[in-house]
Structure 1
Amino acid sequence: MNELTSGARVEAALGRLLLRGTRMYLYDRLVDRVEGVDATTYPVLSGLARGGPTSATRLAAIIGLDRTATTRYASRLESAGLLRRAPDPQDARVTRLELTAAGRAAVAAMRDTLTEVFDDLLAGWNGPEADQFAAALERFTTQLEASRG
């Protein structure tokens, strides 16, 4: 019997986690209670929250969408009052996207919802097992971030 290596098991699990269907399920759960955000605009709002104020071009690279789609979704979020465009203080030729107070509140609400979803998924695990999983995932993510430079 050929047992998979730990790396192969992680690859398979992350592959399933990152499938569009899985992401869309989570996005739909997250945006259900947030006005002005849907599954298509969520990555823009989330990316801006994690990366801070930036240009649409830079945000597109961070979230893995093309600049045109990022700009279009940012316009929808701006119309909903969740982000605003402002001149970049470093370069007046560049327009910077930034969250409004309502945008920050929407992100906080969505993160609370995501925590609830994950707490529900982990409810059947015993406490130490869930804590060990969280600690191992944090360590894995930190190591992955450090390895990319």
Structure 2
Amino acid sequence: MNKDSPDPTPGFLVWRLANKWRVAVDRAVAPLGLTHAQYSLVASLHGMQRAGERPSQRRLADHTGLEALYVSKLARALEAAGLIERTRDPRDPRAVQLALTERGQIATQQAITVVQELLQKLLEPFGGLDAPQTRAFTDELITLLDAPLAPSVPNHDSTQGETP
């Protein structure tokens, strides 16, 4: 980024970093037949399965921050590729549970390795993955992600009757 340009806003920088990361991950996992969004899904599913969970699509959507319809679309594509299996939840027939297949486990572990190497490169200016500055940055990101972000709705009552 050009340091001679006007001061960028934090929102612009978050957007730029998110796009930089998405493009880099897309390129890194493409040889494994994945997109960044698919990687986010299988890596999250991998972590949840390791913790003993067999999440529903809704649970995975909540975990990843992706829209439920988008998770459903991604899950169908990953199922068609033989990387995950989708089954009805015996406790709730409306819910669809997800699990990595054996092939999905292998592809996901390879993708996680590739993305971890990429993350190490991204965080080198902070001193790497285990650096105190990285831990502080992670804490700040968590704070921002936990902040409510609902748009305010203008009060139309106070402007009724006024002419523009």
TM-score higher than 0.5: yes
> Which residue number in structure 2 is paired with residue 17 of structure 1?
17
| Contact persistence 1:122–1:130 (CA under 8 A) | no
Q: From the superposition, tell whether residues 127 and 55 of structure 1 become closer, same or farther in structure 2 (CA, over 3 Å).
A: closer
In structure 2, the residue matched to 1:67 is 68
**Aligned equivalent of 2:31, options 30, 33, 53:** 33
TM-score by length of 1: 0.65
| SS at structure 2 position matched to 1:54 | coil
Counterpart residue number, 1:79: 80
**Paired-residue identity, %:** 26
Q: Are 1:58 and 2:55 an aligned pair?
A: no
**Structure 2 counterpart SS, 1:81:** coil
Give the aligned CA root-mean-square deviation in angstroms.
Answer: 3.4
Give 1:115 shift: 1.9
Aligned 8 A contact 2:127 2:134 in 1: no
TM-score, length of structure 2 as denominator length: 0.60
| Aligned match of 1:4 | none
Question: Quick one: distance in 2 between partners of 1:40 and 1:128?
Answer: 24
Asked whether the equivalents of residues 88 and 96 of structure 1 are also in contact (C-alpha less than 8 Å), the reply is yes
Distance 2:128 2:23 in 1: 27
Letter in 2 for 1:41: Q
- Within the candidate set 41, 45, 52, 1:48 is matched to 45
Q: Tell me by how many angstroms 1:67 deviates.
A: 2.6
